[in-house]
Every structure is written in C-alpha cells, then in structure tokens.
Chains A and B, each alone.
Chain A
Amino acid sequence: MHMADALISPAVGGAMWAATAGLTIYSAKKLKENVDEHIVPLMGVLGAFIFAAQMINFTIPATGSSGHLGGGMILAILLGPYAAFLVMASVLTIQALFFADGGLLALGCNIFNLGFFPCFIAYSFIYKKIVGEQPTRGRILLGAMVAAILGLQMGALGVVLETLFSGNSELPFSTFLLLMLPIHLGIGIIEGLVTAAVVTFVWKAHPEIVTLAPSSPAKAHSHKPLLIGLALFAVVAGGMLSWFASTHPDGLEWSIKGVSGKEELDAPQEGVHGAMAWIQEKLAFLPDYDFKKPEEAKEGMAGKEGEKASKGKEEESWPAVSAGKSLAGILGAALTLLMAGAIGFGLRRYYSHSKG
C-alpha cells in the first residue's frame, strides 16, 4: 500500500527521502562498480514489464477478488539487489507522478517500504539463503514465499511507523498494525506464489537467467547492504526522533534525554536531508503550536475551550476558538476560495483569448 503525502509530516518525508536518496546513490555506485552498466536498458525494460504484468490478473479462488504481481521480489531475483532497487524506485516514481499513488514527498517512504525491504533485506537475507547456488523448484517456491511475505510485512510496518511518527492519523500503533499486517499477509502470500511461479517458469525455459543473479556481486558482500541499511535507518530514526522531540516535548523528551544526555538530537545537516530539514525549519515557524491542544482537548471537555484559546497562538488556532472567531474563519475561507476561483477563471479566459 502506498503512503500518501497527506498523511506524513515534512520531517518524516524528508528523512525517508534522505534515506532513499542515499540508497539510490549507493545502488547506482555499486551498479557501476560491480555490474555491467550495460544492464541499464534491461532494467528499464523490466520496470515497464512490472507495469505491463499488472494488467494481467487472476481470480483468487473462493474470494471473487483478483490478484496481480507486485514486483520487488521478482526484480531482485532477476537483477540482483542494486539494480532491482533502482528499478523499483523508478516504478514508484512513475506511479507517484502519473497515477498519484502516494505523492512526491511520500515517495521516499514508498521507495523505502517497497524497494529497500524486498530488494536488500528479503532478497539478500531470506531468498538467497533459502535458494542458494543450486535452485530447485521447491527451494524457489519456499524462498519466494517467505521472502515476499516478510518483505511485505516489513513494508507494512514501515507504513505504520511513518504514519505514526507523522502524527496526522489518530490510529493507535497496535490497532494500525493489526489492520495492516493481516492485509499484507494476504498480499504477501499472493506475491510469493506469483513470484515463485514466474521464476520457475522462466527458470525452466532459460536456467541461465535465474541463476544469473546469485553470481552477482551481492554475494561477495552480502553483509554490506544490511549494515548500510541499518546505518541509514539510524539516521532516519534519529531525524524522526529529533523532530518528534521538538514537537512533542512532553512525549519523547525523557527518552532522548536519557539516551543522549541532550535536550534534542541534531538532525544531520548534509545532503537532501539537511536541505529538507532546513526547509522545514524555515517553514515551521511555530513548531509546536497545536500539538498540545489535541491532547488536552481529549482530556478536557469542550468547556475548557476558552482556556486553550489563550494558550494557542492566534493565527493558527482556528479549531480552538470561540464561535465569533470561527465565523470570521469561515468567511475568510469562503472568500479565499472565491478569489481563487475567480483568478483561475480569469486567467483561463485571458490565455484562451490571447491564443485564439
């Protein structure tokens, strides 16, 4: 399932972008070093294949619904982790841009959830361990099943954590997890079955294609992706925590204090993350203007409105103000929309006239 822009905060989106950008650069570098760059066209064409394959579906027995191929695992099996990650990244980019699946800010999250987990973790540490150098039908089936299921579970966990850290959804952690994991178990089983079936099919026709990937360089340093992944995750988690700490001073402060002895963690100021964090810093003029309110709103009853209004900052506190103020807000909102409509209409008239 794709993460959406609307559900994430800039800090989470930015941190995941940083992680993904890092992984992309790392994979591109590895590709250049270890694998022939001649496979770049093959990668692109296989990315298109993932789209094409999704147009063919099958009926899931006894449910009446239909399933299709997701992609990450099969790409990893055919191309190895680095190339597969890059292909997944571009598949998701196209989906974000053309189908509005996810969004641009959430793209980092989505690539991480649906690219990093299956390609680097599930493939490298599960599929390859199970299938080994001499694939057999049974091993391919087992490997693809387990890897696809676990890969998707990790992805689902990613979605839950990212949503939670962003703080836009009210869903409690356990509920959300209980919602997401079973759904993704189903999706994972289907994905595993399809992957295994297709890989076996291709393996029977062209054994060299499927045994190609194990000889790819991932084997030589199969521990590396994990280490790098973990390091990246640490950066990401650090970024999220520091943001979390700055907006929820009463929530996580103690744990961060306990761990680092500092009030807040400093987000790393390099690369995309630095840029994103910088932008966010510049944009978040009033970093914690409303996060205390909802909590109090939950505890306190509606009667405490007046009290809270004095706490919140004036411009931002539409939700917690008196009826008179809300009226002004609604009036202003209506006017804003009206103006936007009028400007749009006017410009359209103007440009169609100047053209015709």
Chain B
Amino acid sequence: MGHIESSLLNIGYLETLSYQQTPLHRLDPRVKLLTTLVFIVAVVSFGKYEITGLLPFIFYPVVLMAVGNLPPGYLAKKILLAAPFAFFIGIFNPLLDRAVLVHLGPIGISGGWVSFVSIMIRFTLTVSAALILIAGTGLNAVCLALEKMGAPRSFVTQLLFLYRYIFVLTDEALRLARARALRSFQGRGMGFKVFSSMIGQLLLRTLDRARRIHLAMLSRGFDGKIHLLRPLHLHGRDVAFFLGWSGLFVLMRWFNIPHLLGNTITELFR
C-alpha cells in the first residue's frame, strides 16, 4: 500500500512539473509526442550488442531535463523503480551467452554481459524519454495531441475521465484501506473475504459516482459528444524541435559518434 500511495503522490508531482512555463513546456504537445516516438524507435533499433552507439542518445533526456527544469534525481528514482522486469529478463543473458565477445586487455567480456548492459541502457533511455514527455507536457495536453492526431474520440475522452477520477477514487480506496488497517490485528481482517467485499463496496460506490457524474453531464446538455475546445498551432520552433532532434537521432543512429571521437583522439596522440 505504501508503495502505491507514494506512486500516486508521484502522479501528482509529475503533474506539478508539467505546469511549469519553460521553453520545453511551451512546445506543441504533438511535436513532443512524435519526437519521443522517433527517439524510442531509434534507440531500440540498435543491435543487441550495441553499447557505444547508444550513448550519444543520452543527450536528448539530458538537454530536455535542463531546458524543462525537470529534477534529474527524481526521474532517476522513477526509472529505478520501474527497472525490475527489464532487469529480470536481461540478467539471463550473461548466464546463457557466455562466449567472450570483447577483450579489454587481459579481461574477456562475454556477449551476455554486453547485451545485458545494452538492454539496461535502452531501458534507461526509453523510460526517461517517456517520463520527460509526461513531465514536460502533462497528460491533458498529450490527450489533446492524441485526439488531433486521429485517435478515436471515445478513447481519448475516457482516458481524460480516467485521469480525472484517479485522484478521487484512490482517495476513497485509501480511506477504506486505512479503516481496515486500523481495525485489523495480527493479520486478521486482511484476508480475502474482507478484501473482496471492500473491492465490491468500492465498485458499487464507483458505479454510483459514475451515475451522478452522468447526471451532472446531462444537466449541462451532454449529448454523447464532448467538445474539447483547444486549438493547437504549430509554430516554427515546434517544427524546428522535431526536425532538429529527429535529424540528430538519424545521425546518431548512422554514425557511432563515440567511436569516431575515440578514433580521432587516439590518432592525435599517436
């Protein structure tokens, strides 16, 4: 419970971050969404043993965090929290793929370790891009962008409703959970029976609330369609942002920049 409670606070914090006024936040949400997708596709399109080629991609999250005034420590913590699955699957690589792939002087490194490190780097990059998208844009704006880009309206609408009522309903659930915790001793009362009737109770309340919301909507002329009045305009800076970063991603995908750098330097010192 504590974990989820804190992750909900995190939703709130991510949202607070999205209210800032920075050059990043002022960009059109569609552009940020698209750029994020291009970034992710570029990152995951590398081969499984790639490490150095992936590194330059760190520029994107680093620059965006700086420009959007997003706290790196907080985002890093969120990334760590999400790591277990990728780690769990990736950690089998060193066990299964033991053929030595790289020699660093006397030390031989197996392909498994290389691909594991590669997976973890990809993980860090893709997750940070998604978190930056939401912290630098906000869910409402992302929904708006989705709608403008052709996602079905009913999907977008209920996504907005979901987000709106997460806070209200989790509050209710927390109250229920606290009430139970206060009255259960030595694990009694934490079992399945109480649990299922609590969830049932919560569900009934939720259905009731949904009914009241629907009434409130009907009272204000709801006829099945929700009008999202919010024109979006593409500015020059939006186009520049998208083309600039996408171009850079293509370059970084094509040329192994750390390699070129390293080669140039070792050449220089030869």
Direct A/B contact, Cβ within 8 angstroms:
yes
Interface residues of A (CB under 8 A from B): 1-2, 4-10, 13-14, 24-25, 28-29, 31-32, 36-38, 40-49, 51-59, 61, 69, 86-87, 89-91, 93-94, 96-101, 103-105, 163, 167-172, 193-194, 197-198, 201-202, 205-206, 209, 276, 279-280, 282-285, 289-291, 293-294, 297-298, 300-302, 305, 315-316, 318-324, 326-333, 335-337, 339-341, 343-348, 351-352, 355
CB distance from B110 to the nearest CB of A (A): 9
Q: Are B67 and A347 in contact (CB under 8 A)?
A: yes
Q: Which residue of A lies closest to B256 (CB)?
A: A315
Q: Are B168 and A48 in contact (CB under 8 A)?
A: yes
Q: Are B173 and A45 in contact (CB under 8 A)?
A: no
Interface residues of B (CB under 8 A from A): 1, 4-5, 7-8, 10-11, 14, 22-23, 36-38, 40-45, 47-53, 55-56, 58-59, 62-63, 65-67, 69, 72, 78-79, 81-82, 85-86, 89-90, 92-93, 95-97, 99-105, 108, 111-112, 114-115, 118-120, 122-123, 126-127, 129-131, 133-134, 139, 142, 151-155, 157-166, 168-170, 172-174, 176-177, 180, 187, 190-192, 194-204, 206-207, 209-210, 213-214, 217, 222, 224-226, 250, 253-263, 265-266
Q: A-B pairs with the 3 shortest C-beta distances?
A: A44-B161, A201-B200, A332-B262
Partner of B123, one of A5, A89, A283, A339: A5
Q: Are B258 and A333 in contact (CB under 8 A)?
A: yes
> If the complex has contacts A45-B210, A290-B47, are A169 and B89 also in contact, measured as CB distance less than 8 A?
yes
Q: Are B169 and A52 in contact (CB under 8 A)?
A: yes
Q: Are B139 and A49 in contact (CB under 8 A)?
A: no
- Tell me the dominant secondary structure on chain B's binding face: helix
Q: Are B82 and A336 in contact (CB under 8 A)?
A: no
CB distance from A135 to the nearest CB of B (A): 15
Partner of A86, one of B4, B90, B129, B158: B158
- Tell me the dominant secondary structure on chain A's binding face: helix
Q: Are B259 and A329 in contact (CB under 8 A)?
A: yes
A40 to B158, CA, bound (A): 6
CB distance from A81 to the nearest CB of B (A): 14
CB distance from A325 to the nearest CB of B (A): 8
> If the complex has contacts A8-B44, A279-B41, are A52 and B173 also in contact, measured as CB distance less than 8 A?
yes
Q: Are B190 and A276 in contact (CB under 8 A)?
A: no
Q: Are A55 and B66 in contact (CB under 8 A)?
A: no
Hey, which chain A residues are within 8 Å of B190, CB to CB? 58-59
Q: List 8 A-B contacts (CB under 8 A).
A: A2-B85, A5-B43, A49-B169, A99-B10, A168-B115, A169-B92, A283-B250, A302-B108
Hey, which chain B residues are within 8 Å of A25, CB to CB? 152
Q: Are B44 and A53 in contact (CB under 8 A)?
A: no
CB distance from B265 to the nearest CB of A (A): 6
Q: Are B154 and A280 in contact (CB under 8 A)?
A: no
Hey, which chain A residues are within 8 Å of B164, CB to CB? 44, 48
> If the complex has contacts A100-B79, A168-B48, A333-B51, are A5 and B40 also in contact, measured as CB distance less than 8 A?
yes
Hey, which chain B residues are within 8 Å of A104, CB to CB? 36-37, 40, 126, 129-130, 133
Count A-B contacts at CB 8 Å: 420
> If the complex has contacts A9-B44, A94-B163, A98-B134, are A347 and B263 also in contact, measured as CB distance less than 8 A?
no
CB distance from A348 to the nearest CB of B (A): 4
> If the complex has contacts A10-B45, A169-B92, A319-B49, are A193 and B40 also in contact, measured as CB distance less than 8 A?
no
Hey, which chain B residues are within 8 Å of A290, CB to CB? 47-50
CB distance from B199 to the nearest CB of A (A): 5
Q: Which residue of A lies closest to B211 (CB)?
A: A42
Q: Which residue of A lies closest to B253 (CB)?
A: A283
Hey, which chain B residues are within 8 Å of A69, CB to CB? 199
Hey, which chain B residues are within 8 Å of A90, CB to CB? 155, 158-159, 162
Q: Are A323 and B169 in contact (CB under 8 A)?
A: no
Partner of B69, one of A59, A293, A351: A351
CB distance from A158 to the nearest CB of B (A): 14
Hey, which chain B residues are within 8 Å of A172, CB to CB? 96
Hey, which chain A residues are within 8 Å of B130, CB to CB? 96-97, 100, 103-104
A26 to B88, CA, bound (A): 35
> If the complex has contacts A4-B85, A36-B224, A327-B262, are A47 and B123 also in contact, measured as CB distance less than 8 A?
no
Partner of B259, one of A168, A289, A315, A351: A315
Hey, which chain B residues are within 8 Å of A351, CB to CB? 22-23, 66-67, 69
Partner of B159, one of A44, A52, A329: A44
CB distance from A29 to the nearest CB of B (A): 8
Q: Are B259 and A318 in contact (CB under 8 A)?
A: yes
A347 to B24, CA, bound (A): 12
A356 to B193, CA, bound (A): 57
